[in-house]
Structure 1
Amino acid sequence: MTQAILIVDDDPAQRRILEEVVNRDGYRAIPVESGEAALAYLEGPSGADISLVVLDLVMPGIDGMEVLKRVHPAKPNLPVIVLTAHGGIETVVNVMREGASDFVVKPVSPERLHVSMRNALKVNALTGEISRLQKRQRGQLTFADIIAPSQAMDPVIRLGKRAAQSNIPILIEGESGVGKELIAAAIQGEGERAGKPFVTVNCGAIPENLVESILFGHEKGAFTGASDKHAGKFQEASGGTLFLDEIGELPLDIQVKLLRALQEGEVDPVGSKKPVKVDIRLISATNRDMLQMVKEGRFREDLYYRLNVFPIHIPAIRQRKDDIPDLVAHFIRRLAAEEGKEVVGISNEALGMLCAYDWPGNVRQIENTVFRAIVLCDGETLQVSDFPQIASMV
């Protein structure tokens, strides 16, 4: 989905020039003729689609400075490039103080505006990604940070928000790569444990002989190689959330100890003479049919029902293809900025091809595919030829 740029200028001729520059650069220009119209658009339902504002400073009625003063507090992450016929120091200082990303002196040079738009969008993409990463690190990610506009994801978001209001054990089900950890992080970020530790454990990636030590900790000298005391993931997560991914991979003997830890609210570190109290909110995830594993004796029935109190199923991408355009646009902005590439969008033909593909690897595969395409791309728009692996399968 091409990024939309709002052009605000009362001069019709100037608007046409700016519109041509914006469209030629591969963006979608949305021209308006006044500050009042700009505020109405930004505050309306389509305002969230705007990635950048090109704003004339001097206009009758509500001028550019007033627009900037009202927009920046409400949308602090929206970059604004101010156009001014007077490039004096005082003017520049004032607009930058009010939150402008850059200023361009009239008459507008297409090359100067081109550079300014690219820089503002790149910085904004990286800033947004850094903000998401920081919020995730601080345990403050919310559902508003998740790209999931399709109706198929509505039940997931609704259940996740409801679950966030309690400490009920949650089992998130879904194929690999659908974003189970992201949903778990958002549940914590919208609950009373926001800002507390969010500790992730991939149960399928731990060597079997180390599972107990990693989960519950160990004392110094408890076994060969235990040269120091180790707290374990349960103690690390105490006060916050413990996310056990691929929980179906846990060995049966560890399942018994996990059940006891959940029932008693305490863990027994390897080699310790007394248990340690822990206060965790448990969220588990699996890409397996857990009920079938219970029937086959590969997963304890009592533990399954202890974990599966509040199930949330995340549909695969092939079942929510309306999410693909937004996900692709997000990955293009972020990865192009990270790689220093001039890619700003994707052709309709290429996007149609991506939407037609079933994506067995889900969101993770989309991200990796867009990353490869950006590396291959020599222009400003991703084309079908930049996705050779997908093109050969659709």
Structure 2
Amino acid sequence: MSVHILIIDDEMNWIKTFSDILIDYQVCDAEDIFNATNLSDACEVLRNNAIDILFLDLNLGCESGQDAIQGLRAEFPNSTLVVMSGVTTGSIPLMCMERGAYDYLPKAMSTDELVLSIQKVISRVEHFDRVRFAPNDLSMVNTQLPFSSYVTQDEKLHSVFEYLKVVSMTQHPILITGESGVGKGVLAKAIAEYSRPNGPFVSLNVAGLDEQMFSDTLFGHTKGAYTNASSQRTGMIAKANGGTLFLDEIGDLSLSQQIKLLYFTQSGEYQRIGSDLIETSDAKIVFATNQNLIELIELGKFRKDLFYRLNTHHINIPPLRQRIGDIPLLIKKFVHQAAEDYAINVPHISDGLIELLKSYCYPGNVRELSSIVYNAVLKSDGQVLTFSDFEFPEIRDIESCSLNAEPETNDTSFKRLDDLFDEKIIDALRVSDGNQSKAASLLGVSQSTISRRLKKLQI
């Protein structure tokens, strides 16, 4: 494959040095290397040429490469962006990767290390090209196994599925982040079904495990390793050999636990408690957390080296309030599942009712929606679902749950049920074009109740 590279740097001496390295080590030919000394020229090159990899310096005279990362990724998503800089301290490397850079390479690294790092980036580009030009239509991957288990019509998640079809086949770990309840475990299981379909799927929530329990559960122990160790125990790593190991809530690990995890993820080697024997595992490792690891690093609660290791392939699942189009699909899925589990008829649910249910922000995400729907189906007894069948454990101000905001947690964010019911009456009337009988049917109340509440509201 011929790789086209763009070097963005305001120092021509560095551009010349870097270009010579690329040519001497046969990374690419001279005619495949482009350069620019400022962002304006760089964008012109990117618009007129199919650039596979762009190497961006952070200091471009009066311009900031760090501030340009998000804009370049948004305008040229098919180009892999790698930051190269003389700055290697502080939180700058983390911030660059958080903004969308694929990697952060210090200019001071040795030539051999530099070439090796570049070859890894090229390997990623080649993987994506094979996917891009494969005969299968990957834009429809969400409707095909294995990712069909994750119900969504969100375009960003469709892109995530394409990405996962590539990186799932590598030995690199995968990090899944997102709020509680968004379906990180579901996605981890889908990754396992795709990459290791015949291997075991071993899941472990590490939150709350103390030092002893963490090591014992993950690595296992030998007979007599400590008091009451009357027999040998096989750890989760050994059980996942040949398959996938899913470690959830890794943001809760202590620093000493993180050291043990770092060694294993780097080498694939581990030792049972009480044993000097070094064992190996080829398990695919998938990590998940609902915490912001960047913030934990800044607080000194998460190791940078472990983050760099896990962040090789990072997937972030947006909350349900940012993908409202998925709510109707999920409601229908859960209604059918609940009816099957309860052995009752599938209750009827109108489009108008679904529109009303879309107005709630679901701070508990998909997990909360599933619970609410299951409870409503049970109350309906297989007949017709109405709004009164749905109970919302956390009644929040809808405005505080806008598409781009986090739900508020202070007392002022809660609404009285009485006020919420009035809002739903207005919503139901809007959906039913002002027909009070239809609105009453949607809400599961009488038409007189609607009329009485409207008089109270002076409508």
TM-score by length of structure 1 reads 0.61
Q: 1:300 to 1:338 in 2, by over 3 A?
A: same
Q: Against the structure 1 CA distance between its residues 229 and 375, is the aligned structure 2 distance closer, same or farther, given a 3 Å change threshold?
A: same
Residues 186-225 of structure 1: pairs in structure 2 closer than 5 A: 186-191=190-195, 193-225=196-228
SS at match of 2:161: helix
* 2:148 is the alignment partner of 1:144: yes
The counterpart of 1:161, out of the listed 162, 165, 178, is 165
Q: 1:370 aligns with which of 370, 373, 381?
A: 373
Matched, 1:316 2:329: no
Q: What residue in structure 2 maps to residue 11 of structure 1?
A: none
Structure 1 residue corresponding to 2:337, chosen from 334, 340, 358 = 334
Structure 1 counterpart of 2:184:
180
Quote the offset at 1:207 in angstroms.
4.2
2:252 aligned partner, one-letter code: E
Question: CA shift at 1:141, angstroms?
Answer: 6.5
Q: CA offsets, 1:257-308, max 9 Å, x none? A: 1111122221111111222121111111111010111111111111111111
Q: After superposition, what is the alpha-carbon deviation per residue over 1:150-197, rounded to whole angstroms, capped at 9, x for unaligned?
A: 224222222222222322221111011111111112122222x22211
Q: Per-residue deviation at 1:347?
A: 2.5
> How far apart, in 2, do the equivalents of 1:277 and 1:388 lie?
49
Amino acid in the other structure paired with 1:288: Q
Q: 1:323 to 1:267 in 2, by over 3 A?
A: same
Of residues 152, 170, 175, the one that matches 2:174 is 170
Which digits, 9 at most, give the CA deviation of each residue in 1:219-278, with x for residues without a partner? 112122222211111111111111111111112111111111122221111111222121
RMSD over aligned Cα atoms = 1.9
C-alpha distance in 2 between matches for 1:155 and 1:312:
10
Assess if the C-alpha contact under 8 Å between 1:142 and 1:190 holds in 2. yes
Note if contact 1:216-1:269 (Cα within 8 Å) is conserved in structure 2: yes
Q: Distance in 1 between matches of 2:261 and 2:348?
A: 48
Q: Could you tell me whether the CA contact under 8 Å between 1:142 and 1:185 is conserved in 2? A: no
Partners in 2 of 1:389 and 1:287 — Cα distance?
22
Give the superposition deviation at 1:309.
0.5
- Alpha-carbon distance in structure 1 between the residues aligned to 2:152 and 2:183: 10
Residue in 1 aligned with 2:245? 242
Query: What CA distance in whole angstroms lies between the structure 1 residues aligned with 2:184 and 2:294?
Result: 19
Q: Tell me, yes or no, if the aligned pair for 1:343 and 1:382 is still in contact at 8 Å.
A: no
* Whole-angstrom CA distance in 1 between matches of 2:297 and 2:283: 25
Is contact 1:349–1:384 with CA below 8 Å preserved after alignment?
no
Residue number in structure 1 paired with 2:356:
353
Corresponding residue SS for 1:312: strand
CA distance in 2 between partners of 1:302 and 1:213 (Å): 24
Q: Which residue in 2 is equivalent to 1:277?
A: 280
The whole-number CA distance in structure 1 between the counterparts of 2:167 and 2:239 is 22
Q: Is the 8 A contact 1:214 1:232 kept in 2?
A: yes
One-letter code of the match for 1:356? S
SS at match of 1:356: coil
The code of the aligned residue for 1:256 comes to: I
Checking the alignment, whether the CA contact within 8 Å between 2:339 and 2:382 is kept in structure 1 is: no
Amino acid at match of 1:303: L
Q: Distance in 2 between matches of 1:290 and 1:317?
A: 21
Q: Tell me, yes or no, if the aligned pair for 2:372 and 2:391 is still in contact at 8 Å.
A: no
Q: Any residues of structure 2 matched to 1:1-394 within 5 Å, and which?
A: 142-191=146-195, 193-378=196-381, 380-389=383-392, 392=417, 393=420
- State the Cα distance separating 1:378 from its structure 2 match: 4.3
CA contact (8 A) 1:178 1:363 kept: yes
Which letter does structure 1 place at the counterpart of 2:181?
G
Could you tell me how far apart the structure 1 residues matched to 2:145 and 2:199 are? 11
Partners of 1:328 and 1:367 within 8 A in 2: yes
> Contact conserved, 1:329 with 1:345, CA < 8 A, in 2?
no
Partners in 1 of 2:392 and 2:299 — Cα distance? 38
Structure 2: stretches of 5+ with no match in the other structure: 1-143, 396-416, 425-459
